[in-house]
C-alpha cells in the first residue's frame, strides 16, 4: 500500500512532467473512482487549465490548478501516477488520464476501486475536515512535536505511528521498518519509552522515510541493513542473519527479527 515515500515520488514525478502545460483532454475511464463530481464536470473544470504546483500530505497528493482548485489523489492499496510521452501509452488499469498540449499523458492507474480522485477547493480545509495529523516529514513536526503528540498515549508505538490523526503518511510497511531500525519489538508500548527514546524514534522515522524516497522505492537501492526488501516470514535478518517472523499487532501483520528486536515485552 502506498505510503509517504511513494506519494513523494509521485509528487516529484508530477512536478517534473506535468506542470504548466495546458490540459487538452481529461478522460475518466472509471467514474466510481471520482468522488463528489461527475466525469463531465470534472473534465470541464480541468480542460484548458494547467497544473501549477503540488503538495503532499501523508498518503495524499494534491495538484493545484491555475484556476484554484486542487486535484486530490488517494492511491488506495495499489494506485500509482505515471506520465508517458506517447499519448497512446496504456497502463494495465488506467482510471483517469490527462492529455497535455505536448501530447504527453498523465495516468492515474489503480487496480482496485479503493483509490480516489476528486476536486478540492481548499486543500488545508480538506485536511482539517479529514482530521489528519501533520505530514510525518513536515518541517513543524520535529522531535518535540512528535514526542508531545505521543505523550500519554496508551497502546503500541506501531499503532500510534500508523494513526493518521497523530501523523500522516506511515502505514504498515514503514512502521515495521522504523521499529526494526530502532531495535524495538512491534509490541512496544508508547508508555514504556522515555523522552529521549521517543525523540530517537522520530530521528529514525525521518531517516527511514527520507532514505526510502531516495531509493525511488526500488528494493535494490535500499541500504543493506533495511528490512524493506526482506520483509517476509522466514527471510534472513539483514542485520544479524536471524529469521524474520510475523505477528499480528492490532490486526496488522507485522514483520520483525526476534534476535534484534527482542521477545514480546
Site string for Zn ion, 203-242 (x = CB under 5 A): ----------------------------------x-xx-x
Q: What is the closest distance, in whole angstroms, from the C-beta atom of residue 240 to Zn ion in the complex?
A: 3
Q: What is the closest distance, in whole angstroms, from the C-beta atom of residue 245 to Zn ion in the complex?
A: 10
Q: What is the closest distance, in whole angstroms, from the C-beta atom of residue 176 to Zn ion in the complex?
A: 13
Q: Among residues 168 and 249, whose Cβ is nearest to Zn ion?
A: 249
Which residues ranging from 57 to 96 are in contact with Zn ion (CB under 5 A)? Answer: none
Q: Decide: is 52 part of the binding site for Zn ion (CB under 5 A).
A: no
The footprint of Zn ion on this chain (CB under 5 A) covers a number of residues equal to: 7
Degrees to nearest 5, angle at CA 52 with 15 and 67: 150
Using the Cα atoms of residue 218, residue 51, residue 78 and residue 159 in order, give the sign of their dihedral. Answer: positive
Q: Among residues 40 and 240, whose Cβ is nearest to Zn ion?
A: 240
Site string for Zn ion, 123-152 (x = CB under 5 A): ------------------------------
**CB contact at 8 A, 96 and 26:** yes
Q: Decide: is 252 part of the binding site for Zn ion (CB under 5 A).
A: no
Residue of 17, 1, 9, 57 whose CA lies nearest to 211: 9
* Helical segments of the chain, H only: 4-18, 39-46, 123-130, 143-150, 157-162, 172-181, 195-214, 258-261
Q: Among residues 142 and 264, whose Cβ is nearest to Zn ion?
A: 264
What is the DSSP annotation of 67-88?
Answer: TS-EEEEE-TTT-EEEEESSTT
Q: Among residues 64 and 185, whose Cβ is nearest to Zn ion?
A: 185
Q: Decide: is 259 part of the binding site for Zn ion (CB under 5 A).
A: yes
Q: Among residues 172 and 181, whose Cβ is nearest to Zn ion?
A: 181
Distance separating alpha carbons of residues 257 and 234, to the nearest angstrom? 10
Phi, psi of 191 (to 5 degrees): -55, -30
What is the DSSP annotation of 193-246?
Answer: S-HHHHHHHHHHHHHHHHHHHHTTT-GGGS-TT-SGGG-STTPBPTTT--B-EE
Q: What is the closest distance, in whole angstroms, from the C-beta atom of residue 254 to Zn ion in the complex?
A: 15
Q: What is the closest distance, in whole angstroms, from the C-beta atom of residue 256 to Zn ion in the complex?
A: 9
Kindly list the residues in this chain that would bind Zn ion in the complex (CB under 5 A). 237, 239-240, 242, 257, 259-260
Amino acid at each position: 500500500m502506498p505510503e509517504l515515500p511513494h506519494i513523494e515520488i509521485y509528487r516529484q514525478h508530477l512536478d517534473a512532467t506535468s506542470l504548466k502545460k495546458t490540459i487538452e483532454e481529461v478522460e475518466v475511464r472509471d467514474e466510481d473512482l471520482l468522488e463528489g463530481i461527475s466525469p463531465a464536470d470534472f473534465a470541464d473544470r480541468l480542460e484548458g487549465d494547467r497544473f501549477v504546483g503540488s503538495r503532499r500530505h501523508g498518503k495524499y497528493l494534491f495538484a493545484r490548478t491555475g484556476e484554484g482548485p486542487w486535484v486530490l489523489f488517494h492511491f488506495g492499496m495499489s494506485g500509482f501516477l505515471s506520465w508517458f510521452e506517447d499519448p497512446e501509452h496504456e497502463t494495465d488499469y488506467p482510471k483517469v488520464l490527462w492529455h497535455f498540449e505536448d501530447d504527453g499523458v498523465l495516468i492515474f492507474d489503480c487496480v482496485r476501486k479503493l483509490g480516489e480522485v476528486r476536486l478540492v477547493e481548499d486543500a488545508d480545509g480538506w485536511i482539517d475536515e479529514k482530521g489528519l495529523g501533520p505530514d510525518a516529514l513536515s518541517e513543524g513536526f520535529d522531535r518535540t512535536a512528535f514526542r508531545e503528540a505521543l505523550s500519554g498515549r496508551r497502546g503500541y508505538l506501531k499503532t500510534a505511528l500508523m494513526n493518521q490523526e497523530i501523523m500522516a503518511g506511515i502505514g504498515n510497511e514503514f512502521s515495521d521498518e522504523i521499529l526494526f531500525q530502532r531495535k524495538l519489538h512491534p509490541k512496544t508500548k508508547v508508555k514504556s519509552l522515555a523522552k529521549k527514546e521517543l525523540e530517537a524514534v522520530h530521528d529514525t522515522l525521518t531517516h527511514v522515510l527520507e532514505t526510502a524516497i531516495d531509493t525511488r522505492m526500488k528494493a535494490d537501492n535500499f541500504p543493506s541493513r533495511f528490512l524493506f526488501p526482506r520483509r517476509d516470514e522466514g527471510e534472513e535478518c539483514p542485520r544479524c542473519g536471524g529469521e524474520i517472523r510475523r505477528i499480528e499487532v492490532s490486526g496488522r501483520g507485522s514483520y520483525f527479527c526476534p534476535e534484534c528486536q527482542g521477545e514480546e515485552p
